[in-house]
Amino acid sequence: MDADPLKQFLQAEGATLVGVGDVRRALSQEIMHLGRGIAIAVNRGLTRDTVDLLMRLQALTEGWLRAKGYRSLSIPPDSDRRMGKMISKLYKLFCHKTAATCAGLGWIGKNGLLINERYGSKMTWATVLTDAPLATDRPYVSSRCGDCDLCVRHCPSGAVQGHLWSLGDPMREIVSYDKCRSLKSGRTSLREKPNCGFCVTVCPYSRNGGEQQKAG
Amino acid sequence: MADEARKKEIYEKLRTGVIQYDEDACREGAQEAVSEGLDANEAIFDGLVSGMEEVGRLFEAQEYFVPEILMCADALYAGLDILKPHCKQMDLGVKGSVVIGTVEGDVHDIGKNLVKMMFDVAGFTVYDLGRDVPLDKFVDEQLKTDSELVCLSAMMTTSMVGMPKVIEKIKAKNPNCMIMIGGAPTSKELADKWGADGYAEDASNALKEAIKMVAFLKKLRDEKIQKK
Ligand code: B12
Ligand code: SF4
Ligand code: SF4
């Protein structure tokens, strides 16, 4: 089933990137029948407006699929903050970065974030899972960070360890979230911003509005 | 007051709202039921719950999977949140306190919550232990609160086997406590076999049964006190 009409439709509605991945290897039993992940990204930070835009794009995707007789499940962009509903219990079963790598939209950098070749790690992601047999894009199977280690050197908490991601080794801890978190909680008491984010800004892929290619 | 046809229309809206996991439709239908003065209890059971029954059928026919069921449950609760405060407070002459929960290994709590709601509107004090409740917790909570009644819910044949164990333990510690069981796989026969005092197939019958039991208990106690 051709995915291009859906991609063009979503891009016309404001999506920056849309890809389709075969995500079966990452699914738990409850959602095993939803073998395709549609990864949708917009080139903006995680704000209320971004969330609203992404959720609108998800609703449009669901409608598009439903009209063709297929099932879908939307995992909202801020899925970790959505609680209290029955369906929200399923959200933690699936991670947006998985859909994005499977859909060929990037790899997991040494900074643990999804790196898109063009936009770096400044994107915000949402996923729609579906049982529609959409044609899939070619997945990323390994890191393209190479010898670069800017984020390792600049991380003030020593959380970024410098490991290279590969699809074959998904359980490896790339960033020590405890260390990263300890820095953030220490900072809230001062007047500094609680979020650090050096690992995003230092990455050559993320710089200059994301349009520039990798430095050196 | 809405006429018969309009009432049907609203109940149908609630029912299809649940089936099509449309939270907005359920909220809207519930709002209409309230503003047009329909009986909230009836709207819940003939509208929302009847929809959930159809969802169960679709699940069995493998037309629906777990995500759909969860979304249907969310839609049901969206309507229930609006209707619940409008359930008429009933004065049935007897009030008691009740411990309720879904037994260990079972996370189905929609039915249990409806039964709980009926007790709430009847003015009972309800100690809700939630779902997937360890069997001993029922025993402890009954002793702690000295409730006249314990209600056990199970929706699976695999989890309902925990019921006789709870019944036995509670009866050993407190023979006067009344126990009622319910949920789709249970039956009057099983209740008798396991030594439960009551069984009901739906929430309103659960309340009727409970009132009979509590009234009976209170009578027993009064007689005892008089004899002393
Ligand atoms: C909704 C649902 C779910 C939801 C539950 C959401 C929730 N928070 O409750 C989710 C998706 C989580 C779920 C999960 C699972 N489910 Co399920 N689920 C259902 C479904 C479709 C509907 C149940 C329901 O809510 N009915 C509506 C309410 C209003 O009715 P009710 O619960 O019967 O309650 C009424 C009466 O029974 C009574 N009552 C209830 N409790 C009590 C207590 C007392 C004291 C009294 C007096 C009366 C009483 O009053 C209530 C109101 O009138 C049923 C199918 C069906 N047709 O029943 C399957 C069903 C119960 N599930 C089943 C199964 C197998 C599962 C899973 C293992 C996963 C799977 N493979 O689907 C897991 C189990 C997880 C676990 N360990 O518990 C099977 C159980 C089979 C069996 N015989 O053991 C069923 C029967 C489906 C089937 N045909 O196979 N499920
Ligand atoms: S946010 Fe800061 S502390 Fe956390 S991993 Fe990135 S650079 Fe390190
Ligand atoms: S800064 Fe360099 S190593 Fe770190 S994620 Fe970006 S490209 Fe990879």
Cross-chain Cβ contact A90/B66 below 8 Å: yes
**3-state secondary structure at position A38:** strand
Q: Which of A106-115, A134-143, A202-211, B46-55 has the lowest mean pLDDT?
A: A202-211
- What is d(CA B200, CA B188) in angstroms, rounded to the nearest whole number? 8
Residue of A nearest to B76 (CA): A86
The answer to whether B151 touches B206, Cβ cutoff 8 Å, is: yes
Cross-chain Cβ contact B67/A90 below 8 Å: yes
A155 ligand 3 Cβ < 6 A:
no
How high is the pLDDT of residue B19? 96
* DSSP letters spanning chain B: ---HHHHHHHHHHHHHHHHTT-HHHHHHHHHHHHHTT--HHHIIIIIIIHHHHHHHHHHHTTSS-HHHHHHHHHHHHHHHHHHGGGSPPP--S---EEEEEEBTT----HHHHHHHHHHHHTT-EEEE--SSB-HHHHHHHHHHHT-SEEEEE--STTTGGGHHHHHHHHHHH-TT-EEEEESTT--HHHHHHHT-SEE-SSHHHHHHHHHHHHHHHHHHHHHHHHH-
Inform me whether the pLDDT recorded for A211 exceeds 60.
no
Q: Of all helices (H) and strands (E), which one includes residue A10?
A: helix A4-12
How high is the pLDDT of residue A10? 97
B130 touches chain A (CB under 8 A): no
Ligand 3 centroid, distance to A192 Cα (angstroms): 25
Listed as ranges, residues in chain B with pLDDT below 70 are 1-2, 91-92, 228
Residue of B nearest to A93 (CA): B67
How high is the pLDDT of residue B68? 93
pLDDT band at residue A209, thresholds of 50, 70 and 90? low
Most ligand 3 atoms within 8 A of CB, residue of A121, A123, A205, A214 to mutate: A205
Most ligand 2 atoms within 8 A of CB, residue of A161, A183, A201 to mutate: A183
How high is the pLDDT of residue A214? 38
Tally of domains in chain A = 1
Inform me whether the pLDDT recorded for A100 exceeds 80.
yes
What count of other Cβ atoms lies within 10 Å of the Cβ of residue A146?
Answer: 9
Domain ranges, residue A180: 1-216
Domains and CATH numbers, chain B: 4-88 (1.10.1240.10), 97-206 (3.40.50.280)
**In chain B, which residues have their Cβ closer than 8 Å to the Cβ of A86?**
70-71, 73-74, 77
State pTM to two decimals: 0.80
How high is the pLDDT of residue A194? 52
**In chain A, which residues have their Cβ closer than 8 Å to the Cβ of B71?**
86-87
A97 ligand 3 Cβ < 6 A:
no
